[in-house]
Amino acid sequence: MSQYLVLEGAVVKNVAALRELIIDAFIRSDQLRLDITDGTPIDLCGVQLIESARRFAEANSKSLTLERPAEHFRNVLRDGGFITNASAEDLCFWFHQENMS
């Protein structure tokens, strides 16, 4: 059974709390689905934490997916270098697509 986390507002602003939620979810399940609501502000620290969780999942035969494409924080991803020369896998993870339009 997968774990489902809705990330909104204050949760995302507190990276330490978000980290604990992600760790706890991976302890309970090998599959984690993150739902970052459209109005939720995401900064570079939040993106870095999500990317770190994604890499952890991959290295430990676990799965991390985003429920929604990351369109509302595309600028943070771009400014942080996460989508510069992004692989198809990266684009699929962040935007649920294989190429940028």
pLDDT tens digits, one per residue of 36-66: 988 888 889 999 999 999 999 999 999 999 9
Angstrom distance (rounded) from CA 4 to CA 70 = 17
- Please report whether residue 75 resides in a domain: yes
- Please report whether residue 101 resides in a domain: no
- Please report whether residue 100 resides in a domain: no
- Please report whether residue 19 resides in a domain: yes
CB 22 within 8 A of CB 49: yes
- Please report whether residue 61 resides in a domain: yes
Q: The domain that contains 11 carries what CATH number? A: 3.30.750
Alpha helices, H only, the chain: 10-13, 15-28, 44-59, 74-79, 88-95
Q: How confident is the model at residue 10 (pLDDT cuts 50, 70, 90)?
A: low
Q: Which domain holds residue 69?
A: 3-95
Q: What sign does the dihedral 81-89-71-35 (CA atoms) show?
A: negative
Tell me the whole-structure pTM to 2 decimals. Answer: 0.88
